[in-house]
Structure 1
């Protein structure tokens, strides 16, 4: 079965991509990697005769593979052109799942999907979310006031200084 999968994968890779790598995976299947398109396709044996599980996913930074986004069981007796059409459909599903929201522009962005620092709006110029007043204008719930640790330290220092002054006054004048 592996020899048949390997042969089918090699033919399929030649139809799909000019640049590709075909290798065996641990489970006994075959993986086709397209580094230039950042996608991978896997053909793995199934329990059925002359069938294979076809999965597609994307390649992450550093060359690792993301989990499969879509999969289907195909009959290996169909021609390479039909298998290539199925693979293209799976790859289109992967690309659609990776596509950003329509409101975002893809120009000037790094691989992270975030805009470059120069393109980001300044924080002060951002509009506030509708229906929510700023934090300083919100009423504080009753009974939820807390004194911070820094405030307690200041209170204790002042009390210590007052205590030392009182001790020195009583000690010197003998009250």
Structure 2
């Protein structure tokens, strides 16, 4: 099965990218890395004859691979053009998931965030003021301090 996967991966890599690296992964599958596009594709055996699990993901800074964003089971007996079309669809889904979403920030400027990290905007924070309860505590402390000072110095008739 590995030889069939390696052969198909080599054909796919030649069709998809001019610059690529094909290597074997630990689980017995084959990975095609396109460093210049920041994406990877893997073909892994599924246990069925002439079938493989095709996964696609992106490359992170430093060359490590992010977990697969999409996956599909493909038939290896179909032509390379059909497999390349499936790969392109998976890669398009990966690219769409990694595209930044533009939102207006608090200062009115556009902030780029990924679609996955997009969250509803928080309401703007009010300036912090001393609450009524805090003022009450401060007055009580001042009163106790004043009473202590009065008993220390004011009670002797100075």
After TM superposition, is the score higher than 0.5? yes
Corresponding residue for residue 173 of structure 1: 157
Compute the displacement of 1:82 (Å). 1.8
Q: CA RMSD in A?
A: 3.1
Give the distance between the partners of 1:43 and 1:49, measured in 2 at CA: 14
Compute the displacement of 1:45 (Å). 0.2
Structure 1 alignment gaps of length 5 or more: 105-111, 115-128, 137-144
The SS at the match of 2:133 is: coil
Corresponding residue for residue 77 of structure 2: 77
Q: More strand by proportion, 1 or 2? A: 2
TM-score computed with the length of structure 2 as normaliser? 0.72
Give the distance between the partners of 1:5 and 1:42, measured in 2 at CA: 10
Q: Which moved more, 1:84-93 or 1:152-161?
A: 152-161
Corresponding residue for residue 37 of structure 1: 37
Q: Does 1:159 align with 2:144?
A: yes
Q: Which moved more, 1:155-164 or 1:56-65?
A: 155-164
Give the distance between the partners of 2:60 and 2:16, measured in 1 at CA: 20
TM-score computed with the length of structure 1 as normaliser? 0.66
Q: Deviations over 1:130-161 (max 9, x none)?
A: xx89958xxxxxxxx6634x974674255224
Corresponding residue for residue 62 of structure 1: 62
